[in-house]
Structure 1
Amino acid sequence: MATKEKKDTMDTGPAWRAWGRALLGGAVMAAALGTGNALGEALVRALDMTGYPAQLLPAALVSALAVPVVLALRAGRPGSGRPLGLGTPAAAAHGFARGLAVTTACAALVLGGGTAAGWVRWSGPDPAALVSFLAGNALVAVLLEALPEETTLRGYAWASLRDRFGGALSALGTTLVFLLVPAASTVVQAGVAHAVGVPAPPMGLAPAGQDPVAYLVLLSVFGLTLIAARTAPGRAPLWAAIGTHVAFLSVNRVVFEGGRRDAGWSAHVSTVHAAILELGYLAATAAVFAGARLLTSRGRAPASGPRVRAAAAWLLPVLPSGPRATASGGRRVQPSAATTYSVGVWAGTGARLVPPVRVLSRASAPPPGTVSRARPAAGTRRSPGTRRSPGTRRG
């Protein structure tokens, strides 16, 4: 039974199929982002909407176009019982708060250091305006960027690669797909905007006015940080990435764009120092999540002796058959599917499944040099040549 469950969670298909699914997740996000923004702009104009509702409508369209599609694509795939790491509502709230708290704390630490170094000069805060901005921005950020991007990329694309490859390749592949989404979305938005008669932003690798190289570097570090949040221990891991995403957008929009967005607080930072601070608190956030995962894995890891024995047992199925590869009675000693799967993941080489065979447990075999005390069956007689060992008594 355990072997069947592990086989169900292992994708043994060709590598191109996993990459195709990952790119499909990115394509869904790019199509939803471009279409939602263009159609949202057309609806806003048709309904004569202004202010916050005009921001909320396109954001809601993006999530409505992206999330149901990838949930339907993932249905029937391994792990669809709790799709893509979204978890239960209670676990989702806990995961979101975890991502929000870790990222905000790291940002406060790094920005505080920058302030002490004289890199950051703050304006006078307006608490009421700041709270109002953060609440409104959080909902738009969740619907427009965090929820659809994490579901399609760190959800569907990452899971598609992780079903087939190890964690490092899956993280790099998902981040690569993440880098392709903004440029692809501008192409989609230009086409849809032309069809519905609304203006569209220029197509390109980076938003207008930003250096493409610096933007791609920041996006790469951000993507790897989101992977660290997605794979950190805890329930509803995808919501931890969503919380991290929202915290990053909120911090940047207050600190670096607060004056333009009327956020109630802002800072004056040079371009060079802003890049260092952004990358610095993202790196600190990724380090916290990666450290939590490392500590959890060490806490669950067995002692060095059992680990070595498990690693040796993992190699048994590939050793040549012969007298040294057999146990008593001529039966091959092979590890269970659960053991090989766990060791394969621990070693970073993926799952290693073996056919269901009878496993000879060390605990079930008598220690070497001991004398069996089993009584002979009724009606049998002791061999004349058999003698008791010295020091033993009858009865």
Structure 2
Amino acid sequence: MAAGSVAGTEAAARGSAVRAWGRALGGGAVMAGALGAGNVLGGALARAVGAEGYPRQLLCAVVVSALAVPVVLWLRAGRQAGRRPLGLGPPAAAPRGFFRGVAVTLSCAVAVLGAGTAVGWLRWSEPDPAALTSFLAGNAVVAVLLEAFPEEVTLRGHAWASLRDRFGGAFSALGTTAVFLLVPGASTVVQAAVSRAMGVAAPPVGFAPAGQDPVAYAVLLLVFGLTLVAARTAPGPAPLWMAIGTHLVFLSVNRVVFEGAARGAGWSAEATADHTAVLVLGYLAATAMIFVGMRVVPGRGRPRARRAQAAVRNGEL
């Protein structure tokens, strides 16, 4: 092969890699922008209509999804046929994918938290079934619209597919998770800028939520991000919905178990900070291993899943 041909091939490969990273970072930028701007704009809309409490949270969540999801769908619409899809799959497959993600993650959480209770790491309050049901229902709607759905579409959907078009699976998983780690801090920068532009009080800029150790928060996001990629890459015709289900269960379990008293969830548990970290990371790791095992261990539904995924790659989301 001529030297010029080799150089041209290497340049094309570098250009392809740069474009893949640009698209992946673009997905992260869309999510950070939507999250930061959506919270401010949703708050302004809530003030305009006199909404407080839960209605205000719901308005902010709706605005975040409305800002993020259409942009990503537009970005993906121009991609060539045969490229890796977002993973939403055909609408009929969405409920099954979603509930598979919910079932796997919830089962792992119950097993690990149950073990933590058995060894005395968790002490539970008396449950209030009515309050718990109300909290779970309301939290699910807000969590899906504010975080689970837009984050999965922009990150494990668009960003992962962009990297996977060019790189191997392990690199794409790590790259997508790296983009995920950039979103929280970037969203606070956007939120502060939009707040100042609208003349309202700007929240502090930072990577971790107030009161949380940045290193511990980074470790949690790293493990959580890799777990979501494992769900996204599990076999099935709607794998992104598995990641959405996993995302929702993670948020719901943690808010009930570890923040339930403060949130009025109707049930909660007490644990030391060290035990909380071990339990959360433990059930995330167990969840990730099950999703990875779905790819490694052959199953009866695998041929059907492959046919469905091939159909999706030929034109479905």
TM-score (norm 1): 0.71
- Residue 23 of structure 2 aligns with an amino acid whose one-letter code is R
Matches within 5 A, 1:21-36: 21-36=23-38
- Larger relative contact order, structure 1 or 2 (CA cutoff 8 Å, min sep 6): 2
Aligned position for 1:183: 185
CA separation in 1, counterparts of 2:84 and 2:32?
24
RMSD over equivalenced CA pairs, Å: 1.9
Q: CA deviation at 1:296?
A: 3.0
Matches within 5 A, 1:94-113: 94-113=96-115
- Residue 123 of structure 2 aligns with an amino acid whose one-letter code is R
Matches within 5 A, 1:303-322: none
CA separation in 1, counterparts of 2:243 and 2:81?
18
- Counterparts in 2 of 1:16 and 1:188: CA distance versus 1, 3 Å: same
- Residue 271 of structure 2 aligns with an amino acid whose one-letter code is V
Native 8 Å contact 1:63 1:144 kept in 2 = yes
CA separation in 2, counterparts of 1:45 and 1:225?
37
Alignment of 1:142 with 2:144, yes or no, is yes
TM-score (norm 2): 0.88
CA separation in 2, counterparts of 1:162 and 1:261?
39
Aligned position for 2:127: 125
Aligned position for 1:377: none
Secondary structure of the residue aligned to 1:69 is: helix
Aligned position for 1:86: 88
Native 8 Å contact 2:155 2:180 kept in 1 = yes
- Counterparts in 2 of 1:82 and 1:24: CA distance versus 1, 3 Å: closer
Larger gyration radius, structure 1 or structure 2 = 1
Alignment of 1:44 with 2:46, yes or no, is yes
Alignment of 1:69 with 2:71, yes or no, is yes
Where structure 2 has 5 or more consecutive residues not aligned to the other structure, the ranges are 1-11, 304-317
Return the match for 1:209 from 205, 208, 211. 211
Q: CA deviation at 1:81?
A: 9.4
Alignment of 1:218 with 2:259, yes or no, is no
Residues 132-160 of structure 1 show CA distances to partners (whole Å, capped at 9, x for unaligned) of 11111001000000011000000000000
Q: CA deviation at 1:52?
A: 1.6
Q: CA deviation at 1:83?
A: 4.7
Secondary structure of the residue aligned to 1:228 is: helix
Q: CA deviation at 1:175?
A: 0.2
Residues 180-239 of structure 1 show CA distances to partners (whole Å, capped at 9, x for unaligned) of 000000000001011112223210111111100000000000000000000001121000
Q: CA deviation at 1:298?
A: 11
Native 8 Å contact 1:42 1:197 kept in 2 = no
Aligned position for 2:173: 171
CA separation in 2, counterparts of 1:200 and 1:177?
24
CA separation in 2, counterparts of 1:249 and 1:285?
14
Aligned position for 1:372: none
Native 8 Å contact 1:115 1:121 kept in 2 = yes
Native 8 Å contact 2:84 2:161 kept in 1 = no
Residues 309-339 of structure 1 show CA distances to partners (whole Å, capped at 9, x for unaligned) of xxxxxxxxxxxxxxxxxxxxxxxxxxxxxxx
Q: CA deviation at 1:299?
A: 9.8
Aligned position for 2:264: 262
Aligned position for 1:355: none
- Counterparts in 2 of 1:171 and 1:81: CA distance versus 1, 3 Å: closer
- Residue 144 of structure 1 aligns with an amino acid whose one-letter code is L
Where structure 1 has 5 or more consecutive residues not aligned to the other structure, the ranges are 1-10, 302-395
Residues 57-96 of structure 1 show CA distances to partners (whole Å, capped at 9, x for unaligned) of 0000000000000110011314589951111222111111
Return the match for 1:276 from 275, 278, 285. 278
Secondary structure of the residue aligned to 2:86 is: helix
CA separation in 2, counterparts of 1:259 and 1:239?
30
CA separation in 1, counterparts of 2:153 and 2:278?
29
- Counterparts in 2 of 1:296 and 1:45: CA distance versus 1, 3 Å: same
Q: CA deviation at 1:46?
A: 2.1
